[in-house]
Structure 1
Amino acid sequence: MTLAPKRLDRFARHIVLPELGGAGQVALSQAHVVLVGCGGIGSPALQYLAGAGVGRLTLIDDDVVDLTNLQRQTIFTEADLNRPKAEVAADWVRRFDSAIEVRAIAGRLGGLNAAPLLEGATLVLDGCDNFATRLAVSDACVKLGVPLTSAALGRFQGQVANFAGHLEGHSCYRCFVGDAFDAEDCDTCAADGVLGAMAGWVGTFAAMHAVRVLTSGHAAMGDPQWGKVHLLDGLAPALRTMRIVKDPECRGCSAA
C-alpha cells in the first residue's frame, strides 16, 4: 500500500523520522484502534491518534458531556453539553480528518458485549474510569488476541502500560490489579479531583505508547514494552517504571 500525495504531505513530519518512516505511517493508516472512554484520557489520546493518521477508529462511551468535563476533556465545548461523548468525539474526528473511518458507540461496555465490540481491532486503548469495565476489556483482549494500551488517571498521578496477555509469557491487566475490583472500588475525579494538564500528559503518553505497538515490526520506534507500567507523577515531577510479571493463577490470561 502507498499513501496518496495529500496524505504524504499531511504526514511528512512523521515520514522523515528514521524511526517511523513511510512503512510506519502506512501501518498507522491500516490500523483499527478501539478507544474505550472519550473523557479526560480519551480526548487527548484521540486527538493524537487521529493526528497520527490511524485509519479507523471506534469510540465507545456511555456518558454525556457535562460542564465539569471542560476543564480537562479537550475535544468538547460548551455547545456540546448534554450530547453523547462518543458522538461528539466522532464528529470531532470527521472535522479533523475526513479520510479517517470513525464509528461512535454511545453505550456501556461490559462482560457480555466486550468481545463483540472489540473484535477486529488492531489495538484497544482503554481510558475508562472503572475497574469492572477495565477488567472486561482486558479479558476480551486476551480472548481476541488484541494488544491493550491501558491508561489511568487520578489527582496528580497517572499510569500507562501496554499489555499482551494473549502472548506466551506476557502479563495482562488482570495480572496487575487482580480480581477484587468492581465499579464501586474506583476512585472518581468528582470525589478526588484531577489536574486538567495531568489528563493531557497521560492521554498523550498513552497515544505514544499505542503508536509503539501499531508500528512494531514496521518501524524502529522501539519495543512495545509489554507489561511495563509507567507511573507518571505530576507533582514531583517524575516518571518511574515497574514490570508486571505474568500471574500463573490469573483467570484472565493463564490459559491463553
Structure 2
Amino acid sequence: MRKVEYPRVKPDHAPYRFDDGTIRIGGELYGTAAEIKDARGYVWLALQLMDGTRAAGAVAEELRRTFPELSPAASEGLVGQLLDSGYIEDVRQPVPEELTRDDQERYSRNHDFFRRVDMRPGRSGWQAQAALKCGRVTVLGVGGAGSHAAWALAAAGVGRLHCVDHDVVEVSNLTRQTPYTEDDIGRPKVEALAQRLHAVNSGVSVTVERRKVDTEDALAEVIAGSDVLALCADESRGEYINTLADRVCAAAGIPWVGGGYSGPKITIGVYGPGGPCDGCLAAGEEARRRQGPDPVIGGPGVISASAGICGNWIAYEVMSLITGVAKQPPGYLRGLNLMAPDQLVYVRHPSRDSCEACGTARRPVATVD
C-alpha cells in the first residue's frame, strides 16, 4: 500500500455519482475533473471510506468485506490507484516546517488554490506554498507588466524578489503601473516599488538594482542565485532582450517567463531547460507566416487591464514553475485577445538543431571542478 496514513478526498474534488454508476470527481474544471466508470460500486465505496478517519489499509479491508469477490491484490490496487490520482490528501500530513502559523493564516487561500490544482500524489497545497517561500525570482523591468508581476509574486509569498529597472516614474505610467502614485513622479521605479512591496508583505525579502541590462554579462549578474527570471522589459529592443534571456538562462540552467501586449492581444512565453527557446518559437511562427510585409507587432497602446492581465499572468507562470504545478513543460507561448475572447493563443515549435540556446548545437555550459 502507498505510504498515506489517513486518506481523505480533497474537499475541492468531492465526488458525485450519476444514475448509470459513473463517478465525476474533481468538479467541472477542465484539467482537474475526471469521470470513472464504476458499475459495481467498488470505487464509490472506496471514496466514501476515504474520509480521513481510517488508514489506507483499512479502506482496502472494508472493500473486501463488502465485496468478497475482490482479492487482496485487487482491493489494494484500487485503493493505490486512487491514492495516486491527485484527488486524495493525507489528513495527518504535517505542514512543512518552513511555514509558520502566521504564514498559514496569511496564505490560507493560496493553500486552497494549490490543493485544488496540484494533482501530484500526496500533495496538500502547503508544499507549494513552502516552495514559494523558498523561491528566488528576478523581475527585470518593473513597468506595466513588471510592476503587476512583482506585486503578485510578493503578495503570494515568494521569499526573495530581486527587482531591476533603470527608469524613473513618469506621469504617463500612472494609468497602468498600479504600485506608483503621483508622489513617486521622478523617483526611481525600483525604489518606490520596494517600499510598496514591503507594505504588502513584510515577510518577503526585496532587493533592487537601478541599472540597464543590455548585455549577456549584465543579465547573468542580475539573475545569479535566482530560480526563475520574470522578463518584463518593455523597450523597443524586446526581441534582443529575449535573445539574451534565451542564451543566459540556458547557460545558467534556469527557466524564464516573458510577456507583453500588442494592443488588446496579450501573450506570455514560458521557457526552460529541455524545451524550445523563444527564438525557436519565433522561427517556427515565421516559417508558417504568409509571405508579405512584416506585420506590426507591439506599440505604445496599453491600458491598465491589459498590463494587469499580462503581469499577473507572468506571475502565475513563475509560481507554476517554482511550485511544480505546471502541467505543460516549458517551451510554449500562450495568450488571449481582449477584443476576440474566442481567439486563444497556444504556440509550440520544436527546437532547431542549429540553435545555440536549446538545440543540439547548444554551447557547453562551463563547470567548476
Superposition TM-score tier, normalisation by shorter sequence = 0.7 to 0.9
Tell me how far 1:57 sits from its aligned partner.
0.1
Q: Distance in 2 between matches of 1:224 and 1:69?
A: 34
In structure 1, the partner of 2:229 is: 124
In structure 2, the partner of 1:227 is: 331
SS at structure 1 position matched to 2:194: helix
Q: Which amino acid aligns with 2:263?
A: R
In structure 1, the partner of 2:160 is: 56
In structure 1, the partner of 2:256 is: 148
Bigger Cα displacement from structure 2, 197-206 vs 128-137: 128-137
In structure 2, the partner of 1:163 is: 271
Q: Which amino acid aligns with 1:231?
A: G
Q: Does 1:100 align with 2:224?
A: no
Q: Distance in 1 between matches of 2:282 and 2:225?
A: 26
SS at structure 2 position matched to 1:63: coil
Over alpha carbons, which structure has the higher Rg?
2
Output the TM-score relative to the length of structure 2. Answer: 0.62
Percent pairwise identity: 27
Q: Distance in 2 between matches of 1:81 and 1:138?
A: 33
In structure 1, the partner of 2:146 is: 42
Which of residues 344, 350, 360 in structure 2 aligns to 1:239? Answer: 344
Q: Does 1:133 align with 2:226?
A: no
SS at structure 2 position matched to 1:104: strand
In structure 1, the partner of 2:99 is: 3
Bigger Cα displacement from structure 2, 99-108 vs 86-95: 86-95
SS at structure 2 position matched to 1:15: helix
Tell me how far 1:16 sits from its aligned partner.
2.9
* Change in CA separation of 1:82 and 1:211 when aligned onto 2, cut-off 3 Å: same
CA RMSD of aligned residues (A): 1.8
Q: Which aligned segments of 4 or more residues in structure 1 are displaced greater than 3 angstroms? A: 185-188
Tell me how far 1:203 sits from its aligned partner.
1.1
Q: Distance in 2 between matches of 1:109 and 1:222?
A: 29
In structure 2, the partner of 1:12 is: 108
Q: Distance in 1 between matches of 2:330 and 2:157?
A: 23
Output the TM-score relative to the length of structure 1. Answer: 0.88
Alignment gaps of 5+ in structure 1 = 179-184
Q: Distance in 2 between matches of 1:139 and 1:65?
A: 30
Do the aligned partners of 1:128 and 1:134 also contact (CA within 8 Å) in 2? no
Q: Which amino acid aligns with 1:13?
A: R
In structure 1, the partner of 2:187 is: 83
Matched length: 240
Q: Which amino acid aligns with 1:5?
A: R
Q: Distance in 1 between matches of 2:169 and 2:351?
A: 38
